[in-house]
């Protein structure tokens, strides 16, 4: 990712860089695998990057408690591996994207599959924009787990295959 040159002096202006472009460069380096901004000590920046990922993992776990519980001790590492260099779309979407990615490579634990099935039944999510609540009844099927949503209420009809 390159630095957006939002300042009057542009990003290549060295000392004359604007606050806006310096901030954009820093955030990109911290969350989107952007190049390290000039002059920052690499050790503290790496610590900050790791701390942001841990904080994000905690937020995703609050939105997706069963997914996190299903992964158990592997949760922090699984999340960080997936999330590093991938900017956040918020806890709900991050967890959703991760659950789908794990499902695609058959690495989604049963609890996570049940949670994902319930979410798929409750919301319509295209992977790009914020999930929207479904207005009509729907089924969610993930890895053997089946959830049904009627009038906004979601029930698990069949648990996932362990």
Chain residues that interact with other proteins, rule: CB under 8 A: 3-4, 6-7, 18-28, 30-32, 38-41, 43-45, 47-48, 50-52, 55-56, 58-59, 87-88
CB of 143 vs other proteins, minimal distance in Å: 29
Distance CA 19, CA 6 (A): 9
Distance CA 27, CA 46 (A): 12
Q: Nearer Cβ to other proteins, position 92 or 160? A: 92
Q: Nearer Cβ to other proteins, position 71 or 146? A: 71
Q: Nearer Cβ to other proteins, position 49 or 141? A: 49
CB of 152 vs other proteins, minimal distance in Å: 16
CB of 107 vs other proteins, minimal distance in Å: 24
């Amino acid at each position: 990712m390159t630095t957006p040159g939002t300042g009057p002096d542009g990003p290549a202006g060295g000392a004359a860089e604007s606050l806006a472009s310096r901030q954009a460069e820093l955030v990109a380096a911290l969350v989107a695998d952007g190049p390290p901004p000039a002059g920052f000590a690499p050790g503290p920046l790496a610590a900050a990057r790791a701390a942001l990922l841990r904080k994000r993992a905690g937020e995703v776990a609050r939105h997706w408690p069963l997914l996190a519980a299903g992964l158990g001790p592997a949760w922090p590492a699984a999340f960080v591996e997936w999330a590093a260099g991938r900017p956040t779309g918020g806890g709900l979407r991050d967890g959703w994207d991760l659950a789908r990615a794990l499902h695609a490579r058959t690495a989604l634990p049963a609890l996570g599959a049940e949670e994902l099935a319930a979410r798929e039944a409750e919301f319509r999510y295209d992977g790009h924009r914020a999930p929207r609540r479904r207005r009509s009844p729907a089924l969610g099927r993930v890895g053997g787990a089946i959830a049904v949503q009627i009038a906004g209420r979601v029930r698990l009809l069949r648990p996932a295959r362990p």
